Amino acid sequence: MTAFLTALALGAGYNTALVTIGAAILGGSAGAIGAFVLLRKRSLVSDAVSHGTLPGLALAFILMALLTGDGRNIVALMAGAALSAALGLFCVEWITRRTRLTEDAAIGAVLSVFFGFGIVLLTVIQSLQTGGQAGIAGYLLGSTAGMLRSEAETIAVAALATGAAIFVLRRPFTLVCFDEGYAATRGIDVRLTDLAMMGVLLAVTVIGLKVAGLVLIVALTIIPPVTARFWTDRPERMVLIAAAFGAAAGYVGAAISASDRGLPTGAVIVLTAAAFFALSLVLSPVRGLMSGLATRLRFRRRVHERQGLLALARGEAIYDPLTIKVLRRAGHIRADGVATLEGRAAAAAAVREEALWGLYRRLHPDEAAALDHQGLAPIAKALPPDVVADLAARLDPAGAGAR
Amino acid sequence: MGTDFVVLSLVPITIGILVCVSCALLGNFLVLRRQSLIGDAVSHVVLPGIVGAFIFTGTVAAGAMLLGAGIAAVLAVLLIEVVRRVGRVEPGAAMGVVFTTLFAAGVLLLEQSDTSSVHLDVEHALYGNLESLIWLAGGAGWPALLDPGALAALPPQLPRLALVTLAVVVFLLVFWKELVIGTFDATFAESVGARPGPVGFALIVMVAVAAVAAFDAVGSIIVIAMFICPPAAARLMTDRLVPQLGWSVAFAVVSAIAGYVLAGYGPLWLGAAYSVSAAGMIATVAGLILALACLAGPRRFGTRTAARRRRPSPGRASHHQSSISNSLQV
């Protein structure tokens, strides 16, 4: 625990601190670009991108091993990974655009074939008998344990650069996510913007390979944005919140991972992000489980109160225990079930409300169907005053005539 | 092509074919239902399943592993549904959240538990070891196929996968009508009582069964490739479902055989003294077949009429223009 707190306070050595900060910046960038990609409904494209890096990684390793004797050159590996991921991305685009296959099939095909070919190349590397083979295995699941200072610095700086790119491009990204046509009329090249979005996604993926590993990096671009979606309906805020969740997951996860052995960085970061997601799923004020439950209970209470009051007005006996409980809590009936004075007044008001709503539904069926509270809200608050006055005027002469 | 082949290659090739065919058959429906990536999700979830089973039972017995992986796969599918419905998250993202989280949990559990004494690692779950499934009892060559004693010594993966392939075929035959209606028109299926919901879930369970049975022979990644590549390539060859299934099975068999042979002998032909991963090569060959189908498959643009529209010959183009100007005059 103390080791964790030390790492959290960046006190566990320069390298660990650098990795922790780098993971936080990476998580932030991944969350931000992931938010745009989620809004564009293309989250799983990042899965194809991350798996697509493997052949390039392996080829770069082989090339560097043949040229210099050691394949572990992070810049060369990143360049190779980026090139093959770009090829994978191009294949996804090309298959989706040029053939009848849908994007999910294209993504699945590209990710599995590229990964399979990458594994073929990995077995070639195993037979090469050069040094540093463990270095390439670290890219599968991510490892920051033996990371060099220069590697950590490269990752931190590159992640910061992608963050800056996202900041610069945020307006066109947002417009394209929400309304392609409008974006086009504003003079934004939709294809170019999409390309830039995928380019940034690719960059984040490649930078994150060493930290999270190519199987898990995709989580950093999906989980924080989905988490952020629980907390807001506004795109700018969603991007910021996703970046914050991503950065927090990267920071806390890297610190936990540094505090003990047997805590692989990528897995811990992803599980931290997943914990934020689970909490948001339960606690979110708008879309969460708890608020959904509360809304449901409130709605049920209002239905029972309304129906109970109508029954009181008609002088009918009430048997439903929940209705009795709700009415008694509100002071509409006494413990023995007899209506109080307030209860009778409320019952009369409920009858009138119901009649007004009924008239409104008859006169304006379409507008009434569009309301989402099914006439349980007080009509004077739900509708404009002139409409209510008109309804009341129509209701009263009719009532007088009947009498 | 004698004794050596029977001992070293016959069983891996047969297993490869069985895996590829069972996955490709189910994959046709996944591709048509736009659920291709369910196979991806399910295969990743196999890892936490087997690690969980190991921690629970302390052994690496095949039964426990398969059960653990199966439970994890079904759990993942249910979780994806929960996240999608409760959180109102779009399906792709819900899938991404669930399978990466479970995979991360599997990696962490694996690191935390003491698995140093047993052969259990992430790489194995990802790309298996098809080449190791040799049949030592087949030393007598082809006649060993008739020897009950030698047959009893077959790697257990072979009968298991044969059973799964049979189960897949039976499943498709029994639920054929429901599957087809539910795939092409779920609303209509509901209205005629074909229950697309339960049948769709049964399809996913079969996908999980096929993926789980296959992973310890060939690893997860080839399973994903087989769920998608042969059916996707077959989709570009024909507009009809039964021929599509036929094409996909043919592509799967070709991938399995060609992939295995290329992995085993390809490097030797190039003068190197080693072989490469058979699972990876099978996936690569499947990808090449798909690439060819994308470039030249007769139905790559859609139905016959759609294809004609996409590929206007010069004469047709002018005809098209004149029809537009005609309609403008009207």
pLDDT tens across A338-348, in order? 888 888 888 98
Residue B78 domain flag = yes
Which has more confidence, B290 or B215? B290
Q: What is the pLDDT of residue A402?
A: 43
Rounded to the nearest integer, the mean pLDDT of chain B is 82
Residues in chain B closer than 8 A to A109 (CB atoms): 36, 225, 228-229, 232, 287, 290
Q: In a 10 Å sphere around its CB, with 0-12 CB exposed, 13-18 middle and 19+ buried, how is residue B116 labelled? A: exposed
Give the CA distances from residue B244 to residues A146, A342, B206, B233, B251, in Å, rounded to whole numbers and listed in that order. Answer: 50, 72, 19, 9, 10
- What is the distance between the alpha carbons of residues B217 and B12, in angstroms, rounded to a whole number? 9
DSSP B145: G
Inform me whether the pLDDT recorded for B206 exceeds 70: yes
What does pTM read for this prediction? Answer: 0.83
Q: Do A119 and B127 touch (CB under 8 A)?
A: yes
Q: Does A109 touch chain B (CB under 8 A)?
A: yes
Label residue A133 by pLDDT band (50, 70, 90). Answer: low
- What is the distance between the alpha carbons of residues B68 and A382, in angstroms, rounded to a whole number? 54
Q: What is the pLDDT of residue A199?
A: 92
Q: Does B104 touch chain A (CB under 8 A)?
A: yes
Give the CA distances from residue A332 to residues A340, A342, A375, A377, B69, in Å, rounded to whole numbers and listed in that order. Answer: 6, 6, 21, 18, 57
User: Average pLDDT, stretch A140-149?
Assistant: 72
Residues in chain B closer than 8 A to A118 (CB atoms): 280
Inform me whether the pLDDT recorded for A111 exceeds 70: yes
Label residue B292 by pLDDT band (50, 70, 90). Answer: very high
Q: What is the pLDDT of residue B148?
A: 75
Report the interhelical angle of A149-168 vs A14-39 (nearest 10°).
Answer: 30
Beta-bridge mates of residue A333? A339
Could you list the residue range(s) of the whole structural domain that residue B259 is in? 3-306
Q: Do A122 and B290 touch (CB under 8 A)?
A: no
Q: Do A42 and B279 touch (CB under 8 A)?
A: no
What residues 196-235 of chain B have any CB closer than 8 A to a CB of chain A? 221-222, 224-225, 227-229, 232, 235
Which of B100, B274, B284 has the CB atom closest to A116's CB atom? B284
Residue B257: CATH number of its domain: 1.10.3470.10
Q: Does B264 touch chain A (CB under 8 A)?
A: no
Q: Do A287 and B286 touch (CB under 8 A)?
A: no
Of A142-151, A177-186, A209-218, B286-295, give the lowest mean pLDDT range.
Answer: A142-151
Q: What residue has token string 């004075």?
A: A341
Residues in chain A closer than 8 A to B127 (CB atoms): 116, 119
User: Average pLDDT, stretch A252-262?
Assistant: 85
State percent of chain A over pLDDT 90.
30
Inform me whether the pLDDT recorded for A167 exceeds 80: yes
Inform me whether the pLDDT recorded for A335 exceeds 60: yes
Query: What are B60-78's pLDDT values in tens digits?
Result: 777 888 888 889 988 998 8
Q: Do A109 and B228 touch (CB under 8 A)?
A: yes
The domain tally of chain B equals 1
- What is the distance between the alpha carbons of residues B241 and A256, in angstroms, rounded to a whole number? 52
Q: What is the pLDDT of residue B287?
A: 95
- Considering only CA atoms, which of B249, B206, B232, B302 is closest in space to residue B31? B232
CB B217, CB B15: distance < 8 Å: yes
- Closest B-chain CA to A88: B287
User: Average pLDDT, stretch B122-143?
Assistant: 72
String of b and e for B136-157 (b: at least 16 CB within 10 Å)? ebbeeeeebeeeeebeeebbeb
Report the interhelical angle of A74-98 vs A149-168 (nearest 10°).
Answer: 40
Of A26-35, A209-218, A300-309, B123-132, give the lowest mean pLDDT range.
Answer: B123-132
Query: What are B32-43's pLDDT values in tens digits?
Result: 998 888 888 888
Which of A99, A107, A108 has the CB atom closest to B294's CB atom? A99
Q: Do B96 and A219 touch (CB under 8 A)?
A: yes
Query: What are B226-281's pLDDT values in tens digits?
Result: 999 999 999 999 989 999 999 999 999 999 999 999 988 877 777 776 778 888 89
CATH 1.10.3470.10 location in chain A = 2-284
What residues 74-103 of chain B have any CB closer than 8 A to a CB of chain A? 83, 86-90, 92-97, 100-101, 103
Q: Does A98 touch chain B (CB under 8 A)?
A: yes
Label residue B119 by pLDDT band (50, 70, 90). Answer: low
Q: What is the pLDDT of residue A231?
A: 92
Of A43-57, A375-389, B81-95, give the lowest mean pLDDT range.
Answer: A375-389
Q: What is the DSSP string of A277-304?
A: HHHHHHH-TTTSHHHHHHHHHHHHHHHH
Residues in chain A closer than 8 A to B105 (CB atoms): 267, 271
User: Average pLDDT, stretch A10-30?
Assistant: 83
CATH class of A2-284: mainly alpha
- Closest B-chain CA to A231: B87
**Going by C-beta distance under 8 Å and a sequence separation of 6 or more, which residues neighbour residue A371?**
A382
Q: Do B277 and A122 touch (CB under 8 A)?
A: yes
Max avg pLDDT among A371-375, B15-19, B217-221: B15-19
Cα pseudo-dihedral B104, B106, B112, B114, rounded to 10: -150
Chain A with chain B: Cβ pairs closer than 8 A: 212
Shortest distance, CA A262 to any CA of chain B (angstroms): 5
User: Average pLDDT, stretch B171-187?
Assistant: 90
User: Average pLDDT, stretch A215-236?
Assistant: 91
Query: What are A282-301's pLDDT values in tens digits?
Result: 988 878 888 888 988 988 89
- What is the distance between the alpha carbons of residues B292 and B286, in angstroms, rounded to a whole number? 10
Residues in chain B closer than 8 A to A124 (CB atoms): 267, 274, 276
Residue B321 domain flag = no
